[in-house]
């Protein structure tokens, strides 16, 4: 490991070539690639081990929602041969074990300093390098700074009034205790019905004496149909792994699924239903998002799918009032991330599970003994906050890098994130974001998007070194053009109609804009490749 305690050298070469922040799926691969290319790399990770998302999110029922055959690294065929997934959607412990296996296999831990948070990063204009500081007192300099800090790594600040007064146990899904939590026989309240809430509620209901779910916005959820990895995928991969992975890289969402060309209005009712039922039976996000070509762009088409799903909810939930309360009506399907569940709706048929509809009876306050709504006081032993994340920008802005001329990233992004390709930011030379805002990121299979970014960054640094450059930075013009393109793409979709975390709407004061790029993984890859092939079009190098 580089001596990160050595004071910044002041003159000449920086302490290391690259600092990588984060040891999740992105940071691990970034370190591996850069080391292979001969760079001196120092990683930092706030947690005491690798895993990122899969280190932190240990709540009951936590799993991926992209089939694990697809949601994994593809950079090394040998790695793929060495690891077998046991399930269609692997559980958190299995994904964490996989990332630990990867760390061992490529000996990655030796490049990281764990239990260490990067707290400051400032660009030194005279020396063309970054000065980094950590909460452990480290100070070092690096030529390049890669923020592999995650899109969903900073839980949203508690904004439920009175939460801190609660005298029972309080748990946040994204910071679940590693030793587990014994909920047996307890009265548990869950606030939040996004993916985390929908995954953990059925599991909590299996052990708790009483479960009360406080729902502000109902979400669309489809059954995951857990089981072994899908036979068709396994066969396709076995037949031609390279072709399969290549198809994923050029696909729309990072999973090799053929986008439908059928528009909702083109087909009669019974064919619409048959198409929907077939996709529903598959139990996959990208299937259910792919019933009709226009469901993401035309409200009428979207409503066809939305109503089919509401019908499914009514079939699963015995009490019609509860079924209606669970039926989303205030946002088009797909504009909030749809969920995959394991018996979520049927959980509400259990006698000890109750839904509190916060649209009718909002939370007034949490107090010492439970939750007070406008209609009642609910006594609780345990409060679970499944209230989400300061997504896409939270982790990067927590460091708030200081770029050229002393400008902070938070100032540069005061009107919302502005980047070139979601990778770099004008005014912040040699800073790279992995799956940052304005890249496909959370709208895609992140494994594929992470690999694409990591490889693009590694190639870029190798080219800079080979051609004798020490700094790279996008031009304001290129950045403005990319921002415009992102906005144009978002504007033709239904996304702006939802108060989603995709739109930054879950965090008070955050600019309302579609944070990820919605143009698709394949088209995006092509643009990034063209930029590089053209000698880093839109960038200035020196
Ligand atoms: P992370 O895994 O979030 O890792 C970032 C790391 O950086 C963290 O360990 C964090 O501690 C560290 N860090 C942040 N700031 C600092 C700092 N200042 N100093 C030091 N360390 C820092 N995506 C999918 O495509 N498919 C899925 O099925 C899927 N399921 C998900 C399930 C859950 C519960 C969640 C929360 C997200 C899921 N995602 C999924 C998104 C998931 O975040 C990504 O797939 C992927 O794991 C992100 O990897 P990463 O390395 O970019 O970020
Ligand atoms: O967070 P969310 P999440 N009072 O923001 C509610 C990935 N992920 O952790 O919608 C009352 O989606 C909030 O209500 P509303 C995936 O990408 C994947 O569940 O704002 N309620 C909402 O219901 C996912 O999208 C998996 O009205 C409050 C919930 O809390 C992303 O991570 C599993 C509230 C937050 O939902 C985030 O998911 C888990 C308040 N003050 C996560 N504040 C997989 O399945 C918030 N809420 C792979």
- pLDDT (tens digit, 9 = 90+) per residue, 372-398? 999 999 999 999 999 999 999 999 999
Q: Write down the pLDDT at residue 9.
A: 41
427-457: burial string, b at 16+ Cβ within 10 Å, e else: bbbbbbbbbbbbbbbbbbbbbbbbbbbbbbb
**Residue 473, C-beta contacts closer than 8 angstroms, at least 6 positions apart:** 424, 426, 427, 428, 429, 430, 539, 540
123 CB less than 6 Å from ligand 1? Answer: no
Q: Write down the pLDDT at residue 415.
A: 93
Q: Which of 52, 192, 357 to mutate to test the pocket of ligand 2 (most atoms within 8 A of CB)?
A: 192
154 CB less than 6 Å from ligand 2? Answer: no
Cα separation of 152 and 154, whole Å?
6
Q: Note whether ipTM > 0.95 here.
A: yes
**pLDDT tens for each residue of 244-261:** 999 999 999 999 999 999
User: What is the 3-state secondary structure of 135-156?
Assistant: CCCCEEEEEEEEECCCCCCCEC
> Residue with structure tokens 């916005």?
217
- Residue whose C-alpha is closest to residue 191's, from 413, 371, 461: 371
Q: Write down the pLDDT at residue 35.
A: 98
| Residue 4 confidence (pLDDT) above 60 | no
**pLDDT tens for each residue of 280-332:** 999 999 999 999 999 999 999 999 999 999 999 999 999 999 999 999 999 99
194 CB less than 6 Å from ligand 2? Answer: yes
Number of H helices, E strands in the chain: 17, 19
Task: Please tell me the residue having the least CA distance from ligand 1 atom 27.
Answer: 64
The SS3 call for residue 1 is coil
143-162: burial string, b at 16+ Cβ within 10 Å, e else: bbbbbbbbbbbbbbeeebee
| Residue 445 confidence (pLDDT) above 90 | yes
For residue 389, the 8-state DSSP code is B
- Looking at the CA of 156, which ligand is closest? 2
Percent of the chain at pLDDT > 70 equals: 98
Which burial class, exposed, middle or buried, applies to 260 when counting CB atoms under 10 A from its CB (0-12, 13-18, 19+)? middle
Q: Which atom of ligand 2 is nearest to the CA of 387?
A: 30
Q: Write down the pLDDT at residue 404.
A: 97
| Residue 6 confidence (pLDDT) above 60 | no
Cα separation of 195 and 289, whole Å?
16
Cα separation of 319 and 323, whole Å?
6
Q: Write down the pLDDT at residue 12.
A: 73
Which pTM was predicted? Answer: 0.97
- Looking at the CA of 222, which ligand is closest? 2
Q: Which helix (H) or strand (E) holds 56?
A: helix 53-56
- Looking at the CA of 501, which ligand is closest? 2
Which burial class, exposed, middle or buried, applies to 42 when counting CB atoms under 10 A from its CB (0-12, 13-18, 19+)? buried
| Residue 7 confidence (pLDDT) above 90 | no
Please state the separation of Cα 504 from the chain's center in Å.
13
| Residue 10 confidence (pLDDT) above 60 | no
Q: How many angstroms is it from 376 CA to the middle of ligand 2?
A: 24
**Residue 6, C-beta contacts closer than 8 angstroms, at least 6 positions apart:** 15, 140
Q: Which atom of ligand 2 is nearest to the CA of 158?
A: 41
395 CB less than 6 Å from ligand 1? Answer: yes
Q: Write down the pLDDT at residue 527.
A: 98
Q: Which atom of ligand 1 is nearest to the CA of 174?
A: 36
Q: Which of 159, 194, 360 to mutate to test the pocket of ligand 2 (most atoms within 8 A of CB)?
A: 194
| Residue 1 confidence (pLDDT) above 60 | no
Q: Write down the pLDDT at residue 158.
A: 87
| Residue 8 confidence (pLDDT) above 70 | no
Q: How many angstroms is it from 173 CA to the middle of ligand 2?
A: 10
Contact 433, 412 (CB under 8 A): no
**pLDDT tens for each residue of 18-56:** 999 999 999 999 999 999 999 999 999 999 999 999 999
Average pLDDT score, the chain = 96
Tokens of 292: 């009709």
328 CB less than 6 Å from ligand 1? Answer: no
- Residue whose C-alpha is closest to residue 469's, from 14, 34, 128, 147: 128
Q: How many angstroms is it from 99 CA to the middle of ligand 1?
A: 12
């Amino acid at each position: 490991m580089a001596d990160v305690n050595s004071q910044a050298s002041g003159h000449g070469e920086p302490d290391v070539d690259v600092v990588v922040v984060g040891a999740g799926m992105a940071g691990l691969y970034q370190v591996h690639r850069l080391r292979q290319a001969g760079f001196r790399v120092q990683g930092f990770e706030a947690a005491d081990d690798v895993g990122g998302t899969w280190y932190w999110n240990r709540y009951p029922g936590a799993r991926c929602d992209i089939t694990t055959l697809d949601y994994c690294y593809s950079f090394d065929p040998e790695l793929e041969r060495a690891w077998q997934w046991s399930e269609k959607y692997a559980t958190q412990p299995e994904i964490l074990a996989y990332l630990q296996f990867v760390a061992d296999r490529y000996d990655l831990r030796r490049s990281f300093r764990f239990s260490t948070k990067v707290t400051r990063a400032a660009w030194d204009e005279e020396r063309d390098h970054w000065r980094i500081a950590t909460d452990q007192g480290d100070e070092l300099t690096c030529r390049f700074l890669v923020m592999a800090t995650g899109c969903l790594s900073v839980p949203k600040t508690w904004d439920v009034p009175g939460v801190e007064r609660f005298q029972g146990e309080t748990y946040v899904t994204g910071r679940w205790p590693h030793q587990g939590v014994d909920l047996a026989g307890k009265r548990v309240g869950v606030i939040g019905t996004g993916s985390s809430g929908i995954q953990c509620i059925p599991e909590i209901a299996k052990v708790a004496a009483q479960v009360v779910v406080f729902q502000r916005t109902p979400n669309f959820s489809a059954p995951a149909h857990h089981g072994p990895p899908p036979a068709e995928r396994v066969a396709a991969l076995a037949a031609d792994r390279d072709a399969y992975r290549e198809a994923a890289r050029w696909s729309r969402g990072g999973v090799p699924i053929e986008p439908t060309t059928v528009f909702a209005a083109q087909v009669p009712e019974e064919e619409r239903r048959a198409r929907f039922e077939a996709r529903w039976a598959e139990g996959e996000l990208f299937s259910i998002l792919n019933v009709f070509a226009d469901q993401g762009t035309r409200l009428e088409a979207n409503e066809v799918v939305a109503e089919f799903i509401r019908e499914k909810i009514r079939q699963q939930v015995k009490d019609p009032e509860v079924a209606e309360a669970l039926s989303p009506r205030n946002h088009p399907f797909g504009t909030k991330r749809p969920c995959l569940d394991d018996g979520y709706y049927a959980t509400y048929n259990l006698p000890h599970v109750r839904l509190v509809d916060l649209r009718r009876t909002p939370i007034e306050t949490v107090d010492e003994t439970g939750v007070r709504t406008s209609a009642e006081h609910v006594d609780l032993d345990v409060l679970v906050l499944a209230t989400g994340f300061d997504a896409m920008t939270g982790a990067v802005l927590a460091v708030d890098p200081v770029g050229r001329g002393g400008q902070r990233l938070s100032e540069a992004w005061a009107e919302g994130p502005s980047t070139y390709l979601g990778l770099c930011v004008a005014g912040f030379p040699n800073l790279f974001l992995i799956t940052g805002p304005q890249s496909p990121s959370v709208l895609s299979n992140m494994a594929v998007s992470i690999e694409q970014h990591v490889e693009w960054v590694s190639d870029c640094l190798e080219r800079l070194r080979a051609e004798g450059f020490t700094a790279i930075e996008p031009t304001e013009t290129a950045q403005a053009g990319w921002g415009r393109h992102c906005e144009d793409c978002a504007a033709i979709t239904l996304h702006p109609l939802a108060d989603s975390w995709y739109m930054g709407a879950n965090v008070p004061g955050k600019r309302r804009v579609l944070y990820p790029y919605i143009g698709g993984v394949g088209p995006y890859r092509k643009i990034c490749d063209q930029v590089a092939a053209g000698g880093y079009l839109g960038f200035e190098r020196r």
